Amino acid sequence: MNKFQFIVFVFLGVLMKLNAQNPYLPEDYLSNNFHKERREALRKLMPKNSVAIIFANPIRNRSNDVDYLYHQDPNFYYLTGFKEPHSLVLIFKEEQKLNNKSFNELLFVQEKNEYLEMWYGKRLGINGAKDKLGYKDVFNGTTFLNIAIDFSKYSTILFQNLHNDVRNTREEADLYNLIASFEKKLKNVDERKINKKSLPYFMASLREIKTKDELVLLKKAIEISAIGQIEIMKAMHPKMSELEVQGVHEFVYKKYGAEYEGYPSIVGAGGNGCILHYIENNKVEVEDGKLVLMDLGAEYHGYTGDVTRTIPANGIFSTEQKQIYDLVYKAQEAAIKAAKVGSSFTKPNKVSKDIINKGLVELGIIDSENDYHNYYPHMASHHLGLDVHDASNFGKLKENMVITVEPGIYIPKGSNCDEKWWDIAVRIEDDILITDKGPINLSSKAPRTSEAIELLMKEASVLDSFVLPKLE
């Protein structure tokens, strides 16, 4: 090869590489090595002579011929990096041999289909899964339907409960048929070999400890969520609708490249804040003098933030609102400090409830710290990651876990206390990284104290001049 031929060869190689990549797509997804390492980590937990079977999420119908936006099963994505439906992966504990070929995992994917891809988007297919995801042994789903896998030779068959009753008439190897084929293959297997309990436990053991790569994405999702809270604090004013508040948050998410919301956005004004999972967000005007509870989280590349702030619509807490808010803040501060390596998962909950009960007595809302009440009806924490309520075995806190700390007080109208407390709902929620040097608040960018919130709400918003024409 002469010098000219070498230059042409290198140029063509670079050009082919550029053409294989879409320069307009994000470049910070989890790497193939991450997913491969996670499969190896699962393999180490699996018992001898076992196989794990994990299916993709089903497509869920919204109405008529419109489906919900597809979202991959977190366990499946965690292990494979594959985002398409109608697929499954088999992970074997030991190397398998067939026709002089060795393998320890098999990925089954949707078959390439030019017509369907024109309507519903490109598919990786066999070659794409090999080239872009780094898999060695990939097959079309139809192969799984027809292949005679002898599951009876394995001592343990690991999988989770299977649920899919929706047929897809456009796909021979849809999820319905893949599951049906798997169940048929288990017909002659000794039931004692079938294990539906261990795989969720193994996956929770892996997912509750975040890797370095995961923390990069999770921190970004949390930061975006916090910025959404900051922007609405500046934009908030009475007569704004709950939907407008939601829209500001979600606009910020999209602006920073977060693909989805991690869960249905909660924007509860006044008494609506007392409904813990209020998602209607249809109050057309937030009244002057009311609080607005905003529990929202951006999902960035699969990982979700979960940040709650409660703010006064008019920018100033009333005396009663401030008393309740400051009590919740005090409880949260103590609960965050209790989130240490080695502490029980429930420690932040106990610490926050003790402080809130004592405070409610001092305010005259309950008579005794031992009184039963529903003013703080939920736990203070949950794990956070690929799910907003992420997989966990809820043991002692360990380094690189990420949990929420979210105490709250909710006093609906008609409660057995002075009317001046009615319709006050406060929740403060932050996302906490557990480290051997103490807890780190990843969402601290969004102000938390009542004084800091009031100060920020005095600032101008870029949305102040954003006025749409009225509809006819």
Q: Which residues are marked as active site?
A: 65, 277, 295, 306, 378, 382, 389, 406, 410, 427, 429
**Rounded CA separation 78/205 (Å):** 13
The DSSP annotation for 206-269 comes to: HHTSPPHHHHHHHHHHHHHHHHHHHHHHHH--TT--HHHHHHHHHHHHHHTT--EESS--EEEE
Report CA-CA distances (Å) from 216 to 183, 219, 293, 302. 39, 5, 28, 12
Cα separation, 254 vs 462, whole angstroms: 16
Say if residues 35 and 133 touch (Cβ distance below 8 Å): yes
* Dist CA 460 CA 464 (whole Å): 7
Whole-angstrom distance, CA of residue 364 vs CA of residue 320: 12
Q: DSSP code of 335?
A: H
CB neighbourhood size of 467 (10 A) = 7
Please report the sign of the dihedral spanned by the C-alpha atoms of residue 422, residue 238, residue 276, residue 206.
negative
Q: Work out whether the CA dihedral 373, 382, 432, 277 comes out positive or negative.
A: negative
Reference 260, options 300, 228, 224, 294; nearest CA is 300
How far is residue 434's CA from residue 341's CA, in Å, rounded to a whole number?
Answer: 7
* Residue with tokens 């398998």, as numbered in its chain: 96
The contacts of residue 384 (CB under 8 Å, 6+ apart) are 218, 304, 305, 306, 390, 402, 403, 404, 431
Write down the residue that tokens 């930061």 correspond to: 223
* Beta-strand relationship, 298-300 and 402-405: unpaired
Contact criterion met (CB below 8 Å) for 419 and 456: no
